[in-house]
Amino acid sequence: MSRSSQREDHLKALYALGESQPSSWVSTTQMASHLGVKPPSVTAMVQVLAELGWAEHRPYHGARLTPTGRKLALSLVRKHRLWETFLVARLGFGWEEVHDIAEQLEHVDSVELVKRLDAYLGHPQSDPHGDPIPKADGTFHPEGEVFVLAELNPLVRCEVKAVREGSDATLSAMSAKGIALGSVLMPSQIEALPAAWLEQLMVCKTVDDGSAD
Amino acid sequence: MSRSSQREDHLKALYALGESQPSSWVSTTQMASHLGVKPPSVTAMVQVLAELGWAEHRPYHGARLTPTGRKLALSLVRKHRLWETFLVARLGFGWEEVHDIAEQLEHVDSVELVKRLDAYLGHPQSDPHGDPIPKADGTFHPEGEVFVLAELNPLVRCEVKAVREGSDATLSAMSAKGIALGSVLMPSQIEALPAAWLEQLMVCKTVDDGSAD
DNA sequence: CAAGATTTTTAGCTGCGCCTAAAAATGGAA
DNA sequence: TTCCATTTTTAGGCGCAGCTAAAAATCTTG
């Protein structure tokens, strides 16, 4: 793998730990245990990130992302969650199986690939675990309220957020029609769905990207 | 990336150069220029491959793959071509754009991923460049091998070799369309066949005589 | 067939990311 | 406030995969 994937891993760890406890400074020991390496290795890498302008390092206190670093970290999270979505929604992996594979895929370097993958998946707003997928500019989709698809009137684009009370048979039938968490439903598709599903699919409205239905 | 991806690159180079000129021994200088590194680096890596039992190294003469190494190389070629197929057929990349991206994707380590990707793409037999995709066992679909028509992807000329589980009605329907043992099917014809027949017709690829379809 | 030209390997160096052990800084308790 | 326990960084090494320069083997040619 490219030399920089370790840097990317440290950047992601810094983001993950920094968000969950926004007390700003993340200790190198925390990062070390998160990454499965020893603290001195983290110190060295954090110093590299600081030189790149991606993180600040206050010796003996911890590290934190710069705005630039945060944007980079978010683009990694974006790639990771898009790949997870692909693996589950298209290849039929189980939610629990995909993390390690996505971990490898997210280090593939191609802006165009991410753009096309995103479009191919229908610009999903969250991954199979329900976690939000950052947009290309490093911001999140504003939170849409989730509601039952049957209540959607008039019909507009929306995204599947959850499935209520789904039997295995229902779920496979849905996935056979390409419906899974993160799927974007067009009005014309919604009309064609079995009535029963309208009560089970939990959705939120999705921003229109301008493409025709 | 994993430590082993350099090994994989050398293995692939050895395969690529060894096949095109099957005079057995590939020089380290050839490999070096193919890989964009200097000859001493190749020598070192070839010695590692030899220790792993993937290649033979005859000092001052060159290197060549062992049967084990060849199978590994073929599995890499398989992954590469499956990813290329995905990028072109699903994400809409141009076939010239995909090589570098596939180069990165092919080093993702997951047997299950390859299996599912292959199935998702419909078990293609060649990539967007028309190069054959090795099977999971490291062999190619040889000319003359018989398989189910449904697995033919992309569509090419083929010849009907057998019909599985055909009812009398099916057989008469087929012969009404001019399909019998020995019939040659063109891609445009195959597209027009009932889906059920694709699972019944056993075919093999046929040499193209150059005439239009 | 011997000697020079060429190819290939060996020797020894570099940078990267990891490690352990030792030194330094922090912060809590007497 | 001072001293000790804990955390963090620095110092020094290791393995990997690349490099250059020198040595060794092979090829070529007079």
For residues B174 and B204, the answer to whether their CB atoms sit within 8 Å is: no
Say which amino acid occupies B27: S
Same domain? For A82 and A58 the reply is no
pLDDT class for B1, splitting at 50, 70, 90?
A: low
Residue to mutate among A84, A98, A110, A115, with most B CBs inside 10 A, is: A110
Residue A156's pLDDT is 67
CA distances from B206 to B143, B161, B181, B183 (A): 7, 11, 14, 11
- Asked if A168 and A198 sit in the same domain, the reply is yes
The distance (Å) linking the CA of B59 with the C1' of D21 is: 20
- The number of beta carbons lying within 10 Å of the beta carbon of residue A105 is 23
For residues A45 and A14, membership in a common domain is answered with yes
Last residue of one domain, picked from the residues B22, B46, B65 = B65
More confident residue, B108 or A132: B108
Mean pLDDT over B185-194 rounds to 87
pLDDT digits (tens, 9 = 90+) for B75-92: 999 999 999 999 999 999
Average the pLDDT over A25-30 and give the result.
97
pLDDT at residue A198 in the model: 84
Kindly tell me if the per-residue pLDDT of B142 is higher than 70: yes
Confidence band (pLDDT; 50, 70, 90) for A143?
Answer: low
Residue pair A64/A55 in contact by the 8 Å Cβ criterion? yes
Residue B193 counted as domain residue: yes
List, for residues A162-171, the tens digit of each pLDDT value.
887 777 788 8
Per-residue pLDDT at B195:
84
CATH, residue A91: 1.10.60.10
Using the Cβ of B2 and the Cβ atoms of chain A, whether some distance falls under 8 Å is answered with: yes
A130 in a structural domain? no
> How many Cα atoms occupy the beta-carbon half-sphere of B114 within 13 Å?
21
Specify if A30 maps to a domain.
yes
A118 contact partners, CB below 8 Å, separation of at least 6: A82, A124, A136
Out of A149-158, A182-191, B110-119, give the one with best mean pLDDT. B110-119
Regarding whether A200 and A178 lie in a shared domain, the answer is yes
Q: Residue B205's pLDDT is what?
A: 81
Alpha carbon of A204 to those of A77, A142, A157: distances in Å?
A: 22, 11, 9
- How far apart are the C-alpha atoms of A81 and A47, rounded to whole Å? 28
Q: Does one domain contain both A11 and A56?
A: yes
Closest nucleotide C1' to the C-alpha of A41: C18
Residue, of A149 and A65, whose pLDDT is higher: A65
> What are the pLDDT digits (tens) for A199-208?
788 888 776 5
User: Which residues in chain B have Cβ-Cβ distances shorter than 8 Å to A175?
Assistant: none
What is the distance in angstroms measured between the alpha-carbon CA of A42 and the sugar C1' of C17? 10
Quote the pLDDT of residue A192. Answer: 85
Nucleotides of D under 7 A from a protein CB: 7-12, 16-21, 25-27
pLDDT (tens digit, 9 = 90+) per residue, B161-180? 888 877 778 888 888 888 88
The predicted pLDDT at position A155 comes to: 66
Question: What pLDDT does A68 receive?
Answer: 96
Report residue A161: phi and psi, to 5°.
-105, -25
Q: Is residue B109 assigned to a domain?
A: no
Is residue A176 scored above 50 in pLDDT?
yes
pLDDT over 50 (residue B213): no
Confidence of residue B212 (pLDDT cuts 50, 70, 90): very low
| pLDDT score, position A7 | 97
Nucleotide nearest to B61 (CA to C1'): C8
| Averaged pLDDT, B13-22 | 90
Name the nt closest to A60 by C-alpha to C1'.
D8
Domain boundary (B32, B48, B65) is at: B65
Q: Check residue A175 and give its pLDDT.
A: 85
* Residue range B90-122, pLDDT digits in tens: 999 998 999 999 999 999 999 999 999 999 998
Chain mean pLDDT for chain B: 89
Greater pLDDT, A180 or B210:
A180
Q: Rg for chain B (alpha carbons), in Å?
A: 21
Q: Tell me the average pLDDT across A86-108.
A: 96
Rounded Cα distance between A85 and A198, Å, is 22
Q: Which domain holds residue B39?
A: 5-65
Q: Do A105 and B105 touch (CB under 8 A)?
A: yes
Quote the number of domains for chain B: 2
- What residues in B contact A90, CB-CB < 8 Å? 120
**Does any domain span residue A112?**
yes
> Has residue A157 been placed in a domain?
yes
Domain membership flag for residue A199: yes
Residue A95 maps to a domain:
yes
In sign, the C-alpha dihedral spanning A78, A79, A82, A88 is: negative
CATH for B25: 1.10.10.10
